[in-house]
Amino acid sequence: MPQAFTRLTAMAAPIMRGNIDTDVIIRIERLVGNAVRGTLGKWAFGSLRYLPDGSENPEFILNREPYRRAEILVTGPNFGCGSSREGAVWSLQEMGIRAIIGSGFAISFSPLLSERHSPIVVDKEIVDGLAAEIEATQGSGRISIDLEAQTILSPSGQQHHFEIDPRRRAGLLEGLDEVLLTLKRDHEIRAFQAADRDARPWIHFARTQA
């Protein structure tokens, strides 16, 4: 079950390269064979995080202090493009990332992301400003995200409002995925089915005979 998300004040790391696809987030070979949930965090951003000899790339921001402890990513546009790969989301979660702020996410990636993280879309100017503040404070500043108020507080204290789909917001606040959100309306679904059986009995008779 996803972890409930209400408020988060944490270190953030800017990864501003645009169009980071799911193969960059985690390579497909890390998701086949002996891949096990709970062990994928070490492979997140593997092509950026490690050198060809397997050692850490000292230039990659999440390998540097204090960004190793980042729980928020500030990203460039179209983050998560490429194939719809749920393992990419799992790897970010297992790495410790709880929220991602960007000017836009790939259409196929955003629904997967929203069940396990808080994906926050704001204007590019705000994203660029947050990244600049993080760099100016060398990671010592914190970003605060309030999902109930739908606000971001930057390291310098600037407040920004963001919009989020009400259904996704409710799921994040309660720690519910799409299935559990749907089950909350089970009584409505059953009432509709009962009414439909009365209104169109021939449809349901045909189904029972199939």
Q: What is the DSSP string of 33-100?
A: TT--TTS-GGGTTHHHHB-TTSSB-TTSGGGSTTGGG--EEEE-TTBTBSS--HHHHHHHHHHT--EE
CA-closest candidate to residue 89, choices 70, 69, 103, 106: 106
What is the distance between the alpha carbons of residues 107 and 195, in angstroms, rounded to a whole number? 35
> Which tokens in the block code for residue 27?
């390579």
- What CATH class has 7-176? alpha beta
- Per-residue pLDDT tens digits for 127-162: 999 999 999 998 888 999 999 999 999 999 999 999
At 190 the pLDDT is 85
End-to-end CA gap in the chain:
35
* Residue ranges of the chain assigned to CATH 3.20.19.10: 7-176
- Per-residue pLDDT tens digits for 74-96: 999 999 998 888 889 899 999 99
**Angle at alpha carbon of residue 152, lines to 90 and 147, rounded to 5°:** 60
At 112 the pLDDT is 67
At 141 the pLDDT is 86
* Percentage of the residues of the chain whose pLDDT score is greater than 70: 86
Backbone angles phi, psi at 31, to 5 degrees: -115, 10
What is the distance between the alpha carbons of residues 6 and 141, in angstroms, rounded to a whole number? 20
At 108 the pLDDT is 72
What is the distance between the alpha carbons of residues 81 and 144, in angstroms, rounded to a whole number? 26
- Per-residue pLDDT tens digits for 164-184: 888 777 777 776 666 666 667
Q: Residue 119, preceding bond cis, omega within 30 degrees?
A: no
Residue 100 pLDDT exceeds 90: yes
> Which tokens in the block code for residue 23?
């193969």
Name the DSSP letter for residue 105.
Answer: B
pTM, full prediction: 0.80
